[in-house]
Amino acid sequence: MRSKKPVQPDKRGRFGDYGGRYVPETVMYALDQLTRCYRHIKHDAAFKAKFKELLSSYVGRPTPLYYAERLTAHLNGPRIHFKREDLTHTGAHKINNTVGQILLARHMGKKRIIAETGAGQHGLATATVCARFGLECVIYMGAVDIERQAPNVDKMQLLGARVVPVESGSRTLKDATSEALRDWVTNVRSTFYIIGSVVGPHPYPMIVRDFQTVIGRETKQQCRRVLGRLPHAVIACIGGGSNAIGIWEPFLKEHKVKLIGVEAAGYGLSSGRHAATLKRGRPGVLHGSYSYLIYDSDGQIVLPHSVSAGLDYPGVGPQHSHLKDSGRVVYQAVTDKQAIAAFKLTSRLEGIIPALESAHAIAWLVKNAGEFKKNHQVVICLSGRGDKDMGILADWGRIAP
């Protein structure tokens, strides 16, 4: 008998219990409109061809699967492969999604684009596609993040975007997202909101996932071609969780492939200063969806902490919450210190400077290489490049080992 696999998300935008649409009434019509438009365009041959063409000639796909020979030798564990999203145009996987969403925005006739950004990678990717298609672009970014990811701010401005510093709350990604939502509520008729991760109200977690799935499709093909088999494990860092969902999606039904998500433990899981939403949070509602969330006993959101701006967020995509509860994915966390060490190690052993976000995924393997046999094949999603993080590294002391 063929088992009927439930479609994820369901009609109400739920992955199991998680997801939904917890937003002001004003934007409900825009979500309906977006859902309808996406359902239609998803199967449209011209749209698919245009998306594919841009991913190839503009983004630079497919990205290579790279065997990290010296890191493998150094850890004396499994054979390590990097999926090189750092080699995409603008230097992170975020561009896969913004290319898809800008096509949607154009199709819907929207002339103004807004986005939130943490590390600045999504802001940069959004500013880039806005320049490419000649659309007005406003990026909301926390004042703290503007300071710690300054190179990306300069780039966004060079590309013609207006970067609005957000001074409320923790002045990081959480507040940038709230401010972007407020803009959207105000300008919903003219404006398309390009959300940067698999978070927010339905249909965003689904749309962003679908646009990022190209990472996983390529990885699966490359594994088959180069390794002659599927990998034993695929490891990715989790903030909102878009690079992770993107690389995992084609492996979700391959039950022999271990999927490991790595969150930011900040100063440590018991320090109270971390961004390990799935490890330490509970289900709750923020920014449009029901998902794991970090909040206090009164339901107020707690300021998260991570050295990595892209992971410094108190929520996580609803599909991850579902994958956690179902047990399909194992979620782990590493500290700021471990991530910084992995950042340096990878730079010196492989000549690749990874984003601090991606360094979390590497750090988990550095710590746990012993869990694998030497002939095991492990893929790490190298979601972005680390040039943007040089300033943070300098704050952490000596750059040389």
Partner 1 sequence: MSRIADVVMKPRAGKLLVPFFTAGFPDMKTTVALVKAAADAGADMVELGMPFSDPLADGPEIQHSSKAALDNGTDLRAILKAVEQLQREVDLPLILMGYYNPLLTYGETRFLKRAASVGVDGFIIPDLPVEEAAGFKTAVESNRMSAVFLVAPTSSPDRVRLIDKYSTDFIYAVTVTGVTGAGRTFGTDTDRYMRRLKKQLTKPFVAGFGVSSAESARRLTRYADGVVIGSALVKIIRNAANRRSCLKHVSRFLAEVRGAL
71: closest CA among 82, 83, 60, 61? 82
Separation of first and last alpha carbons in the chain? 59
Tokens linked to 164: 């609005």
- Least separation in angstroms between residue 121's CB and partner 1 is 23
CB of 375 to partner 1, least distance (A): 47
Contact, 286 vs 271, CB < 8 A?
no
Quote the Cα angle for 149-105-50, to 5°: 95
β-strand 112-117 against 329-335: which pairing, if any? unpaired
The answer to whether residue 383 is catalytic is yes
Residue 94 appears among annotated catalytic residues:
yes
The residues of the shown chain that bind partner 1, judged by CB under 8 A, are: 12, 20-30, 32, 168-169, 174-175, 178, 181-182, 185-189, 284-288, 293, 295, 297-301
Nearest approach in angstroms of CB 297 to partner 1 is: 7
Side chain identity at residue 359, one-letter code? A
Nearer to partner 1, 84 or 202 (CB): 202
Q: Are 101 and 157 in contact (CB under 8 A)?
A: no
Catalytic residue among 83, 85, 94, 170: 94
Active-site residue, selected from the candidate residues 170, 308, 321, 383 = 383
Measured CA to CA, the distance from residue 222 to residue 71 in angstroms comes to 20
The alpha carbon of 220 is separated from its chain's Cα centroid by a whole number of angstroms, namely 19
**Contact assessment for residue 368 and residue 400, using Cβ atoms and an 8 Å cutoff:** no
Cα(246)–Cα(213) distance, rounded to whole angstroms? 4
| Nearest distance, CB of residue 181 and partner 1, angstroms | 5
Nearer to partner 1, 102 or 301 (CB): 301
Nearer to partner 1, 175 or 210 (CB): 175
Which residue is catalytic, options 83, 85, 116, 358? 116
Are 206 and 124 contacting, i.e. CB atoms less than 8 angstroms apart?
Answer: no
Smaller CB separation from partner 1, 16 or 284: 284
CB of 24 to partner 1, least distance (A): 5
State which residue, 16 or 160, has the beta carbon closest to partner 1.
16
Triad 334, 336, 340: Cα angle to 5°: 105
Active site residues: 94, 116, 383
